[in-house]
C-alpha cells in the first residue's frame, strides 16, 4: 500500500480545522494528517492534536515557508495538500490524489474554476484575479491549465523532493504551477467542488497586495524560466522605439546632409544599443537555463535511484 500524507498549512483556523481532519479521517483513514501551525494565535494546534493529527510548528510566517518545511520533512508516496479553511471536500481531494496514486500525474490539480468557485466565492476581485493569472500563465507558457492558484493539489514524491520552494507566502501555488509546466512534469486536472468559508472564518488574503505579489512572482518566473522570450520582448520594444526616433533623423540627413536633431539621434542610438544588449542578455541566459535544465534532469534521475523503497518509477508503474 502506498503511503499517503495529507498536508494542511494552518494559520488561525480553529473554526474549521476539526471538520477538515474528521473529513479526511473518514475518507482516507490510512493517511497521515500533518497540520503545520504557522504561529496561530487561537486553538488551531490544540484542536488538531486532540483529533490525532501530527502537529508541527512552523515559526517562519507565510504559506511558502510552511510548504518548504512540509516538503523537506515528510516522506510519502502521495502528498495531498489542502487549506485548513474547509473549502475543499475531502472526497474531491482524494479523487485528485487518485491520479498520482495510479501514476497518471506528477502533480494533480483540483480545478475549482470549472465548478462552483465563481458562485461560492463572495470576493469578486478574487474571481477577476484568478482569471487574469490563468490567462497570463497559459499565454506565456503555452499551456491550458484551468486553475493556477488552487489550494487543493496532489503530488508524487519526485515532484515534492525536487521542487525548489522560493516563495515565502501565498504565491507558492503560482510558483508550483509554473515550475511543473517548465520542467515538463505530467499535470492533470480534476473539477472539484468549492465551498466558501463558514461564517466567522476570515480569509488571510488581501485582494490587492497579494494580487500584486502574485503578478510580481509571474514576472520574475517568466524572466527566470524563459529569459530569451523575456529579454527578447524588451529588446523588440526598445528597437521599435529607437527606430521610430531614428528614421525621421535619418530621412532628414539623406535630404539635406545635415543632422537637425542631435538629442533625438543620441537617444535613438542609446535605445538601439540597449536593444542589442537586452537581446545578448537573453541569448546568454537562455544558454545558462538550458544547462540548468540538464542538471535538473540528472538530479531527478539520482532522486529516483535513491528512493527509500528501492524501486524506480518504472517498477512502480508496472
Estimate to the nearest angstrom the gap between the alpha carbon of 157 and the chain centroid. 17
**Other beta carbons less than 10 A from residue 158's beta carbon:** 16
Tell me the H-state helices in 53-206.
Answer: 63-73, 90-101, 117-120, 124-141, 157-162, 172-182
**pLDDT by position in tens, the chain (length 318):** 789 999 999 999 999 999 999 999 999 999 999 999 999 999 999 999 999 999 999 999 999 999 999 999 999 999 999 999 999 999 999 999 999 999 999 999 999 988 767 666 656 666 777 788 889 999 999 999 999 989 999 999 999 999 999 988 888 999 999 999 999 999 999 999 988 777 666 666 666 676 788 888 899 999 999 999 999 999 999 999 999 999 998 888 888 888 878 889 999 999 999 999 999 999 999 999 999 999 999 888 888 777 766 454 434 544
Q: What pLDDT was estimated at residue 192?
A: 94
- Please give the biggest Cα pair distance in the chain: 88
Q: Is 108 helix (H, G, I), strand (E, B) or coil?
A: strand
DSSP character for 198?
A: P
Q: Reading across the β-sheet that carries 187-191, which strands appear in turn? A: 54-57, 32-37, 4-10, 78-81, 153-156, 107-111, 187-191
**Residue 72: how many CA atoms within 13 Å on its side-chain side?**
11
77, 80, 81, 86: CA torsion to nearest 10:
-160
Q: What pLDDT was estimated at residue 315?
A: 44
Cell numbers 537555463 correspond to 289
First to last CA, the chain: 15
Q: What pLDDT was estimated at residue 123?
A: 64
Q: What is the pTM of this model?
A: 0.83
* Strands of the chain, DSSP E: 4-10, 32-37, 54-57, 78-81, 107-111, 153-156, 187-191
Residues 6+ apart with CB under 8 A from 315: none
Residues 6+ apart with CB under 8 A from 200: 15
Q: What pLDDT was estimated at residue 225?
A: 93
| Stretch (H or E) spanning 278 | helix 262-305
For 108, the grid coordinates are 494533480
Determine the Cα–Cα distance for residues 175 and 165; give it in Å rounded to an integer. Answer: 8
Determine the Cα–Cα distance for residues 32 and 5; give it in Å rounded to an integer. Answer: 5
Residues 6+ apart with CB under 8 A from 129: 207, 211, 214
Q: What pLDDT was estimated at residue 137?
A: 92
Between the alpha carbon of residue 85 and those of residues 2, 21, 30, 194, the distances in Å are 27, 11, 22, 11
Q: Is 301 helix (H, G, I), strand (E, B) or coil?
A: helix
Q: What pLDDT was estimated at residue 50?
A: 96
For 45, the grid coordinates are 494546534
Q: Is 235 helix (H, G, I), strand (E, B) or coil?
A: helix
Amino acid at each position: 500500500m502506498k503511503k499517503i500524507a495529507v498536508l494542511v498549512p494552518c494559520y488561525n483556523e480553529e473554526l474549521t480545522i476539526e471538520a477538515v481532519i474528521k473529513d479526511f479521517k473518514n475518507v482516507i483513514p490510512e493517511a497521515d494528517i500533518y497540520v503545520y501551525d504557522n504561529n496561530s494565535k487561537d486553538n488551531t494546534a490544540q484542536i488538531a492534536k486532540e483529533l490525532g493529527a501530527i502537529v508541527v510548528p512552523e515559526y517562519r510566517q507565510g504559506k511558502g515557508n510552511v510548504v518548504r518545511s512540509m516538503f523537506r520533512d515528510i516522506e510519502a508516496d502521495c502528498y495531498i495538500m489542502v487549506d485548513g479553511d474547509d473549502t475543499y471536500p475531502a472526497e474531491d481531494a482524494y479523487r485528485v490524489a487518485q491520479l498520482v496514486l495510479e501514476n497518471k500525474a506528477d502533480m494533480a490539480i483540483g480545478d475549482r474554476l470549472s465548478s462552483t468557485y465563481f458562485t461560492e466565492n463572495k470576493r469578486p476581485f478574487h474571481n477577476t484575479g484568478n482569471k487574469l493569472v490563468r490567462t497570463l500563465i497559459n499565454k506565456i507558457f503555452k499551456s491550458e491549465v484551468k486553475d493556477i492558484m488552487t489550494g487543493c493539489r496532489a503530488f508524487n514524491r519526485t515532484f515534492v523532493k525536487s521542487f525548489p520552494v522560493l516563495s515565502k507566502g501565498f504565491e507558492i501555488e503560482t510558483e508550483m504551477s509554473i515550475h511543473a509546466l517548465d520542467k515538463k512534469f505530467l499535470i492533470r486536472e480534476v473539477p472539484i467542488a468549492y465551498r466558501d468559508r463558514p461564517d466567522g472564518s476570515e480569509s488571510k488574503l488581501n485582494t490587492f497586495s497579494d494580487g500584486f505579489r502574485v503578478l510580481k512572482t509571474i514576472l520574475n518566473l517568466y524572466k527566470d524560466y524563459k529569459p530569451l522570450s523575456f529579454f527578447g520582448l524588451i529588446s523588440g520594444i526598445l528597437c521599435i522605439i529607437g527606430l521610430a526616433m531614428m528614421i525621421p533623423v535619418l530621412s532628414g540627413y539623406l535630404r539635406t546632409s545635415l543632422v537637425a536633431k542631435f538629442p533625438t539621434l543620441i537617444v535613438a542610438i542609446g535605445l538601439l544599443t540597449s536593444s542589442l544588449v537586452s537581446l545578448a542578455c537573453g541569448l546568454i541566459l537562455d544558454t545558462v537555463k538550458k544547462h540548468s535544465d540538464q542538471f535538473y534532469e540528472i538530479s531527478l534521475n539520482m532522486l529516483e535511484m535513491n528512493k527509500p523503497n528501492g524501486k524506480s518509477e518504472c517498477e512502480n508503474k508496472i
